[in-house]
C-alpha cells in the first residue's frame, strides 16, 4: 500500500492543471527512499500499480516500467524470462 500511495502522489488520478509528469529519476528516487525504509517492490506491487494506472499507461507507462526495471536492476529480457503472470486478474 505504501508504494501505491507514493505512486498516487506522483501520478494523481485527477491531476491539477499545474501538474507536471515526474521524471523517471524522480520516480526512482521516491521508490528508492521507500525501499531504504524496508518496503519492497515485489511483483504484486508492480501488477497492482499497472492495474491502478491502466487507463493512463499510454501517458505514464514507460516511466513506470523504466523506474520499476531500474529499481529492481532488471531488464525487459529478464522479466520476460520469468514465469508469466496475468495482469488482467
What is the structure's pLDDT at 82? 53
Q: What is the pLDDT along the chain (89 residues), one digit of tens a residue?
A: 899 999 999 999 888 999 999 999 999 999 999 999 999 999 899 999 999 999 999 999 999 999 999 998 876 554 445 555 555 54
pLDDT score recorded for residue 20: 94
What's residue 73's pLDDT? 86
The answer to whether 52 and 4 have CB atoms below 8 angstroms apart is yes
Q: Residue 6 has what pLDDT?
A: 95
Cβ neighbours of 9 (radius 10 Å): 10
What CA–CA distance (Å, rounded) separates 67 from 17? 24
Alpha-carbon distance of 85 to 74, in angstroms, equals: 17
Q: Please give the pLDDT value at position 75.
A: 63
Amino acid at each position: 500500500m505504501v508504494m501505491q500511495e507514493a505512486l498516487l502522489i506522483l501520478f494523481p488520478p485527477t491531476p491539477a492543471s499545474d501538474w507536471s509528469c515526474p521524471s523517471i529519476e524522480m520516480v526512482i528516487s521516491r521508490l528508492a527512499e521507500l525501499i531504504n525504509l524496508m518496503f519492497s517492490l515485489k511483483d504484486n506491487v508492480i501488477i497492482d500499480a499497472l492495474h491502478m494506472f491502466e487507463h493512463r499507461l499510454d501517458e505514464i507507462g514507460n516511466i513506470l516500467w523504466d523506474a520499476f526495471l531500474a529499481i529492481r536492476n532488471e531488464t525487459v529480457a529478464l522479466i520476460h524470462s520469468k514465469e508469466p503472470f496475468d495482469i488482467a486478474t
